[in-house]
Chain A
């Protein structure tokens, strides 16, 4: 079994509207998968179903070989995630917030310092989170996703609100973890250049369906495109912009 994530025929119907329609894919260990699609395509919904927050109408998800619905705790034990904007208690410091999760996971406090250093928040760890900027909260959210030394990390728009240097730093952290520790990533992003620089595979979804899925280089070159951006526009069937 070399696929660490297995998604089969995932569907979600709300009030008779198919929000997610028959999505299947698999991710091998160490892959960095880019998850692309326009706003409202269903990226976050798919991720919520993969993490067991939202129950699929049909289909199944396996993380590390465990079904997310039947064996939730086992499936999530090796997963770190940040879904949409990260939430924290504003009246607690960054460190105290992470401490809550460290206790829940039963993780050593030293690990908190480690992840804080990883996202360059060590200097601000004793500041109340309500005084953090959007980018700092985003970093803290990423730090929390790394906390339990996960084998799978799922990040929904991780670079939202980060400055250019921050974006590059996060990209480097992600690529380093994938390379050195064989961590598997799924990354949702609107920034195509971002995905092109990091990911080896990509899924493009639109209106709840997979439009294309495969290795980035292969998809782009086979379609006769030069960049992922060009390919993305072609795949979504948009001929011209403006």
Chain B
């Protein structure tokens, strides 16, 4: 299984997809920071590190672009590999379907964490460079790190939804489209108010609520339920599915 996981990384490394993905995240973070720092209208120009980080956590970066990247990755790791016959070929190497499924999901989980860590690092760096290191305490950074990690956990449901779509549809375009549709619907639902904690993408933009300690306790349970149920459903369906192409 570790070997299967290593293969995922090696192949990402070879396809330069790692670099491209991380470059995109970095650029987006820098772009948003630039907009924000230059826009006087927001009134946060002099904002502290914490304000800056919280503001960014609710901005489009985590809410749309980072999940978009994860959907892209999930659809290519699952959907397109199924369509082009790589899944079939790996299945012939005596690795079990369960091992195969777990290692791919684990890979995506690591990538969820990685993009969040990256966006956290870039935004932190921008803020610290702007405001000076003496303006930030270690505790503030730790608090914000926790908050960004929570938004990484918020990426899990939408990623596994794309995996499920890939297992059913067995094709890159369709599963990518499916992921996007769910993401957009979910974002729309997010903004409808008090029930937003039920959406699979709630924590992508609402992680600051937990920082202020005003998150509904149910929200965490909903997130965990999404992750566990979707993950197990994917495993069951993948084990049942015939591998044709």
* A interface with B by C-beta (< 8 Å): 48, 51-55, 72-73, 76-77, 79, 81, 83-89, 91-92, 96, 100-101, 103-106, 144, 148
Contact status B91-A53, CB under 8 Å: yes
Contact status A87-B243, CB under 8 Å: no
* Beta-carbon contacts under 8 Å, B50-108 to A: 84-86, 88-96
Contact status A52-B242, CB under 8 Å: no
Nearest CB on B from A67, distance (A): 14
Point out the residue from A76, A88, A89, A106 that lies within 8 Å of B92, measured CB to CB: A76
Q: Using A100-B7, A104-B7 as known contacts, say yes or no to A89 and B15 having CB atoms under 8 A apart.
A: yes
Q: Note all chain B residues with C-beta closer than 8 A to A48.
A: 242-244
Point out the residue from A54, A72, A101 that lies within 8 Å of B243, measured CB to CB: A54
Q: Note all chain A residues with C-beta closer than 8 A to B240.
A: 55
- Does B6 make an interface contact (CB < 8 A)? yes
- Does B195 make an interface contact (CB < 8 A)? no
Interface string of B1-36 (1 = CB under 8 A from A): 001101100110011100000000000000000000
Point out the residue from A81, A89, A101 that lies within 8 Å of B11, measured CB to CB: A89
Contact status A52-B91, CB under 8 Å: yes
Residue pairs across A and B with Cβ atoms less than 8 A apart, 7 shown, are A53-B92, A53-B244, A84-B245, A86-B89, A91-B16, A100-B10, A103-B6
User: Chain B: interface residue count, which band?
Assistant: 20 to 34
CB contacts between A and B, total, < 8 Å: 70
Contact status A79-B84, CB under 8 Å: no
Point out the residue from A72, A103, A106 that lies within 8 Å of B7, measured CB to CB: A103
Q: Note all chain A residues with C-beta closer than 8 A to B4.
A: 104
* Residue ID in chain B nearest A105 by CB atoms: B93
Q: Note all chain B residues with C-beta closer than 8 A to A89.
A: 11, 14-15, 86
Contact status A92-B11, CB under 8 Å: yes
Contact status A103-B86, CB under 8 Å: no
Q: Which of A51, A52, A100, A106 has the most CB of B within 10 A?
A: A100
Interface string of B225-245 (1 = CB under 8 A from A): 000000000000000101111
Nearest CB on A from B77, distance (A): 12
Contact status A73-B242, CB under 8 Å: no
Q: Using A87-B84, A104-B93 as known contacts, say yes or no to A92 and B243 having CB atoms under 8 A apart.
A: no
Q: How far does the alpha carbon of A188 sit from the alpha carbon of B242 in the complex, in Å?
A: 21
Q: How far does the alpha carbon of A111 sit from the alpha carbon of B206 in the complex, in Å?
A: 53
Q: Note all chain A residues with C-beta closer than 8 A to B95.
A: 73, 104
Q: Which 10 A-B pairs have the closest CB atoms?
A: A87-B85, A76-B94, A54-B242, A53-B243, A73-B94, A91-B15, A104-B93, A92-B14, A87-B86, A100-B7
Contact status B11-A103, CB under 8 Å: no
Q: Note all chain A residues with C-beta closer than 8 A to B244.
A: 48, 53-54
Q: Note all chain A residues with C-beta closer than 8 A to B245.
A: 84
Known pairs A89-B11, A92-B14 / 4 extra A-B pairs, C-beta < 8 Å: A53-B92, A54-B244, A85-B85, A103-B6
Q: Note all chain B residues with C-beta closer than 8 A to A72.
A: 94, 96
Point out the residue from A79, A87, A96, A106 that lies within 8 Å of B14, measured CB to CB: A96
* Residue ID in chain A nearest B93 by CB atoms: A104
* Beta-carbon contacts under 8 Å, B192-245 to A: 240, 242-245
Nearest CB on A from B123, distance (A): 31
Q: How far does the alpha carbon of A72 sit from the alpha carbon of B211 in the complex, in Å?
A: 48
Contact status B85-A84, CB under 8 Å: yes
Point out the residue from A55, A87, A92 that lies within 8 Å of B242, measured CB to CB: A55
Nearest CB on B from A155, distance (A): 12
Point out the residue from A73, A79, A85, A86 that lies within 8 Å of B96, measured CB to CB: A73
* Residue ID in chain B nearest A154 by CB atoms: B92
Q: How far does the alpha carbon of A91 sit from the alpha carbon of B13 in the complex, in Å?
A: 11
